[in-house]
Structure 1
Amino acid sequence: MNHEIFRERYKRFSEEDEAIQLSINTIIAFEHYIEKDIEESTLDDLKAYMNHLIITNANKYNNVIHIARYYYYVDMKDHYIQMTKYFNTLGVLENIVDRIELYGSKELKDKVLQDIELPPFLSDSTDMPHYTKRFLDILNKHIPQDTCNHILAGNNHGIPKESFDQEKQYYNEASSFKEYLLDKHARKVQELTDYYNNNQIWFEQVITPDVIEFVKDNPEILGGTIKDDKLYITKIPYDINNFLNAENDTLARYYACHCSFVRENIKQETEDIPKEWCYCSGGFAKYPFEVLFDQELDVKLLTTPLDGQRLCRFEIDLSNVDYKK
């Protein structure tokens, strides 16, 4: 590995030399396991090492986050994206379980916990549909479907409210909510353009001119449209380049899906996972607007790749919100 580039980047975090060396050591441990330099590693090497960490009970965040960052620093895009898949599941099911108390009781939550089996951190995405199906079965065993939908539709990734402070300012400065949505979409298109011009990964995505045009032509993606007090949101496909070039509907649905818990099942079809699981994604879609309006919102699942559609689309009810019209 290139120690110098790693140290230079971590110095920006105001890390002490000793702490930086401990971080480097986690990469060295990976290199020792695969018996090659990290820059020569394959995706199969990564998967094997993650499995090794699970088996040895060393599947801890601090044992892998520095590997992910190094891949980002040296522009190994495919490897970095593979690492993000492991982090995308971290704490999500636990947060869903915690929400049971909001719509039930601690006793109900404890009953659910007695039955469920949570996947180990760093589990491969091909294993996740089994855990997801079992998790949903247990929820539905104890809780009515409508209540389950509300439980699933939370801020399950634990995004801080402060992340949307700038968006609140944009909204406050807009003359109407519609104007805010148009401005948000335009800003996001420009953001994608900037990432493309700088050859940077945007979250888990490589940005191309086709991606920019696709988003530009779809105001519900990274923006939203409002009609009759209903806000409509469509999620940007997860692997948008492959989505745009997919040879069939199955592959398009697969590349559209963001969810590491069910994505592989679109191709494998090993588990019968109901579309209601995607209320979890609905929670992610509505949370920025809950912060904006400082109240919980109801979301309705309209379409999902899990149910044969190409895109995730949601309707968010604003009929009880005092927003700028």
Structure 2
Amino acid sequence: MDKIGFLDYLKKKGLDGEAARRQLAIADHLDTMMSARNVAKGSGCGSRAARSLIDALVQSGEDSVDNILAILRYGYFVRNDEVYVEALTYLDGVEAMDNLYARLGRIAGEGVRDRIFSKIGPVTPGTDLKARSAAMRTVIGEVLSGLDKDRLDELFASSFRDLDDSHYSSEAGLLAGSNGVDGYIEAKKSEFIGDLKSCMDEGRLFFGQEITPAVMELVTSDPEMAFGRREGGSVYVTKIPFRADMWLKEKDPLKRRYLYCHCPWARESILSEEGTVPSEFCRCSAGFHKKPWEAALGRLVGCDVLESVLAGDDRCRFRIHID
């Protein structure tokens, strides 16, 4: 491993000397594990090594976001997609449970919140996804049985993801410079499809998944999948599958639903004998899809979950109310 190069990479990410050295130590440990195994990329060795190290960090109480981020950055730096994707799996949406905890306390009161969360054990960044899904299934089940409709609507009014407004700062200008709403939709579609094509042409992952010609055909042939299809005052959006190429090849309906689901807090529950996370939780994803529209229009908009793999449907589909 090029330690000097990795340190330089970390410093370009804005880490100070001490933080960079801590991440280097994690990456160097993983690199030693990988070298000892001496197995070619694509064998699953990278995924197993990353997962083994994360498990060790959990056992020592050191599974912080920064330490898992060091594993992700190592995977990116050495161009090992298996390591990168494994770490990304843990980091993607890691903030959702903490945000749910805080919002539930504000809306229902700390006493109600604490009673609900007392029913699950500790959930940390390195908690495996099956345990995360089990915890979320319990929490959402308790929330649905304990809160009235008004408080549920307030709780699920926006995503539990950290969706920084600065990330959407260009949306209003893009809408203003487009030929109305339809022009804005076409501009966003073109941007999304262009990103996918670049990933395919350059052999890069798109948020952890491989983009193949079959995936490109899937997205471009569905008018709702790239950014949405307007019908009157509504925009209909169908989510791209989480692992689209694998989903296209899979025949088993249950496994297809599993491969479709993006949510790291719910996906594993689809295969669980204990049942899925209640599909009401998909309103978190609705909040994600309506966020660009709220930034573009400068006001809050509503979004309905029309179909959801957690509810047993074959896809996830939403209706955003823009009028």
| TM-score in terms of structure 1 length | 0.88
2:99 is equivalent to residue 95 of structure 1:
yes
Equivalence for 1:235: 239
Q: Residues 249-292 of structure 1: CA distance to partner in whole angstroms, max 9, x if unpaired?
A: 21221111001111112223323432212111111111121122
The one-letter code sitting in structure 2 at the alignment partner of 1:24 is L
Alignment partners' CA distance in 2, 1:16 and 1:285: 35
Q: Mind listing any 5+ residue stretches in structure 1 that lack a counterpart?
A: 320-325
| Preserved contact between residue 235 and residue 312 of structure 1 (Cα < 8 Å) | yes
Instruction: Identify if the C-alpha distance between structure 1 residues 21 and 179 changes in structure 2 by more than 3 Å, giving closer, same or farther.
Output: same
Partner of 2:193: 189
For 1:35 and 1:188, how far apart are their aligned partners in 2?
35
> Which residue number corresponds to residue 138 of structure 2?
134
Structure 2 distance, partners of 1:193, 1:272, is 34
**How far apart are residue 35 of structure 1 and its match?**
7.9
Which deviates more from structure 2 when the two are superposed, residues 9-18 or residues 201-210? 9-18
Match of 1:69 in 2: 73
**3-state SS of 2:224 partner:** coil
Which range is displaced more, 82-91 or 137-146? 137-146
RMSD: 2.4
- Change over 3 Å in CA distance of 1:77–1:254 after alignment to 2: same
Indicate conservation of the 8 Å contact 1:182/1:219, yes or no: no
Change (3 A) 1:99 1:298: farther
Deviation at 1:11, TM superposition (A): 4.7
Q: Which residue does the alignment assign to 1:165?
A: 169
Q: Contact 1:304–1:311 (CA<8 Å) still a contact in 2?
A: yes
**Residue identity in the other structure for 1:27:** A
Number of corresponding residues:
315
**Is 1:215 the equivalent of 2:216?**
no
1:269 matched residue in structure 2: 273
Q: State percent identity of aligned pairs.
A: 21
Q: Look up the equivalent residue of 1:200 and give its one-letter code.
A: R
Partner SS for 2:170: helix
Match of 2:12 in 1: 12
| Cα distance in structure 2, aligned partners of 1:300 and 1:121 | 30
Unaligned runs of 5+ in 2: 40-44
Deviations 1:60-99 (A, max 9, x none): 1121211111112222212211211111231102212333
* Separation (CA, whole Å) in 1 of partners of 2:34 and 2:188: 47
Residue 322 of structure 2 corresponds to residue 291 of structure 1: no
2:42 aligns with: none
The CA deviation at 1:302 is: 0.5
Partner of 1:56: 60
8 Å contact 2:75–2:83 — kept in the other structure? yes
**In structure 2, what is the Cα distance between the partners aligned to 1:248 and 1:75?**
32
Aligned to 2:226, the other structure's residue is in SS state coil
Query: Distance between the aligned counterparts of 2:154 and 2:320, measured in 1?
Result: 13
Cα drift, residue 247 of structure 1: 1.7
Q: Is the 8 A contact 2:93 2:264 kept in 1?
A: yes
TM-score normalized by the length of structure 2:
0.88
State the SS of the aligned residue for 1:300.
Answer: strand
In structure 2, the CA distance between the partners of 1:146 and 1:206, relative to structure 1 (3 Å rule), is farther
Question: Cα distance, 1:166 vs. partner?
Answer: 2.5
Offset at residue 38 of structure 1 (A): 8.6
After superposition, the Cα gap between the structure-2 partners of 1:174 and 1:39, relative to the gap in structure 1 and judged at 3 Å, is farther
Deviates more, 1:264-273 or 1:141-150: 141-150
Of 135, 147, 150, the match for 1:143: 147
Is the Cα–Cα contact under 8 Å of residues 195 and 201 in structure 1 kept in the other structure?
yes
Alignment partner of 1:115 is 2:116: yes
**Paired position in structure 2 for 1:318:** 322
Structure 1: which amino acid aligns with 2:304?
K
Distance 1:182 1:156, change over 3 A: same
Match of 1:258 among 257, 262, 282: 262
Structure 1 position 177, deviation (Å): 0.3
Q: Aligned partners of 1:150, 1:204: CA distance in 2, in Å? A: 32
Q: Cα offset for 1:125? A: 1.2
* Letter matched to residue 9 of structure 1: Y
Return 109-118 or 217-226, whichever deviates more.
109-118
CA distance in 1, matches of 2:193, 2:83: 26
